[in-house]
């Protein structure tokens, strides 16, 4: 599988717990990144369109405060893709930690 | 409220330049609110300043809802897919409608595919000129006219590809 773009990963991440409407995705990422990451609406909409085409997410109608609002939900395939990507990131982080930790004590470095 | 209009030709690939111009005009107190046949309409209000942005995208109900909630006021839609937005400079800050170069590149790619489709339709509809060719002045005139349009489209394609490459360099 090809690595997902950062924006794509963030959208899948935001939807991993529960379905959200478009702006809800922006708010969630903004909140958990302490305001560091603010997805722009055009960027988000492009990602949502692509993910729908790939059937990784779907639009569902949710009844909320007596008015209908469409929310985006991960499909089973979307959930799988997200989990794979999450594991990949975790592995990258673990490898990074190992290398950074061993930087001074590793005596085999010169042989490589 | 005082209004004014300005005539300006903008070609499709220059929407970022157009948005910058509208933002500059707004900083001077003239706020764009309508576009008709090459004319840009402004209303004067020195107390305000807006950031203007133009998007090219297939819209939907969710699309406009998302932009509105993110603080962008929809002004107008041209050719079904060009959407003009604006937001108050003080409330929107550094935010724009795109937050990464990859999505800007995708926008120009959508635009390119849109014009390629129109171009192909045009070529197919004009094939009659060749089929009914009899060398009379009318056929010649039609051929020259179509050739001019073909050249214009090729110019547009090159410009759009260049915009895509420019965005790609920032990724």
Show which of B58, B92, B126 is a domain's final residue.
B92
**Are B85 and B21 part of one and the same domain?**
yes
Q: Please give the model's pTM, rounded to 2 decimal places.
A: 0.87
CB contact under 8 A, B103 and A22: no
Residue A106's pLDDT band, with cuts at 50, 70 and 90, is low
**Are B69 and B114 part of one and the same domain?**
no
**Are B106 and B151 part of one and the same domain?**
yes
Number of domains in chain B: 2
Which residues on A lie below 8 Å from B61 (Cβ)? 70
**Are B60 and B8 part of one and the same domain?**
yes
Checking if the pLDDT of A111 tops 60, the result is: no
Domain residue limits at B132: 101-169
Residue A65's pLDDT band, with cuts at 50, 70 and 90, is low
B61, B63, B98 member nearest A43 (Cβ)? B98
**Are B68 and B149 part of one and the same domain?**
no
CB contact under 8 A, A22 and B96: no
Checking if the pLDDT of A112 tops 60, the result is: no
Checking if the pLDDT of A87 tops 80, the result is: yes
Which residues on B lie below 8 Å from A47 (Cβ)? 103
Distance CA B160, CA B112 (A): 6
Which CATH number does A6-102 carry? 1.10.10.10
**Are B83 and B109 part of one and the same domain?**
no
Residues 11-70 of B with CB under 8 A from A: 55, 57-58, 61-63, 65-67, 69-70
Angstrom distances, CA of residue B159 to CA of A67, B15, B57, B155, B166: 45, 12, 19, 6, 10
ipTM of the complex: 0.87
SS3 A72: strand
Beta bridge partners of B77: B83
CB contact under 8 A, A38 and B65: no
Which residues on A lie below 8 Å from B56 (Cβ)? none
Distance CA B158, CA B154 (A): 6
pLDDT tens-digit profile of A17-36?
Answer: 999 999 999 999 999 999 99
Distance CA B164, CA B166 (A): 5
**Are B105 and B81 part of one and the same domain?**
no
pLDDT at residue B96 in the model: 94
**Are B87 and B148 part of one and the same domain?**
no
Residue ranges per structural domain of chain A: 6-102
Residues 86-115 of B with CB under 8 A from A: 95-100, 102-103, 106-107
Which residues on B lie below 8 Å from A45 (Cβ)? 57, 62-63, 66
**Are B80 and B17 part of one and the same domain?**
yes
pLDDT tens-digit profile of B34-66?
Answer: 999 899 999 999 999 999 999 999 999 999 999
pLDDT at residue B16 in the model: 94
pLDDT tens-digit profile of B106-119?
Answer: 999 999 999 999 99
Show which of B43, B71, B92 is a domain's final residue.
B92
Q: pLDDT over 70 for what percent of chain B? A: 100
**Are B8 and B88 part of one and the same domain?**
yes
CA-based nearest residue in chain B for residue A50: B106
Checking if the pLDDT of A110 tops 70, the result is: no
């Amino acid at each position: 599988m090809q690595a997902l773009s950062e924006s794509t990963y963030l959208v899948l991440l935001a939807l991993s717990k529960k379905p959200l409407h478009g702006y809800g995705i922006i708010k969630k990422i903004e909140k958990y990144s302490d305001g560091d990451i603010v997805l722009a609406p055009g960027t988000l909409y492009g990602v949502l369109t692509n993910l729908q085409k790939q059937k990784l997410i779907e639009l569902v109608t949710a009844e909320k405060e007596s008015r209908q609002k469409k929310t985006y939900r991960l499909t089973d395939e979307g959930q799988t893709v997200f989990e794979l990507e999450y594991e990949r990131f975790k592995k990258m982080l673990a490898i990074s930690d190992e290398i950074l930790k061993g930087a001074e004590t590793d005596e085999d470095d010169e042989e490589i | 409220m005082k209004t004014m209009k300005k005539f300006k030709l903008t070609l499709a690939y220059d929407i970022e330049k157009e948005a910058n111009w509208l933002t500059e005009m707004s900083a001077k107190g003239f706020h764009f609110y309508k576009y008709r046949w090459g004319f840009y309409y402004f209303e004067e209000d020195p107390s305000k300043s807006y950031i203007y942005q133009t998007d090219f995208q297939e819209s939907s109900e969710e699309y406009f809802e998302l932009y509105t909630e993110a603080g962008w006021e929809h002004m107008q839609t041209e050719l079904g897919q060009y959407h003009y937005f604006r937001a108050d400079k003080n409330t929107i800050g550094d935010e724009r409608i795109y937050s990464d170069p990859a999505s800007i590149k995708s926008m120009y790619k959508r635009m390119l595919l849109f014009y390629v489709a129109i171009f192909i339709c045009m070529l197919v509809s004009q094939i009659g000129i060749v089929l009914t060719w009899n060398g009379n002045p009318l056929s010649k005139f039609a051929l020259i006219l179509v050739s001019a349009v073909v050249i214009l489209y090729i110019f547009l394609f090159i410009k759009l590809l260049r915009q895509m490459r420019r965005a790609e360099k920032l990724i």
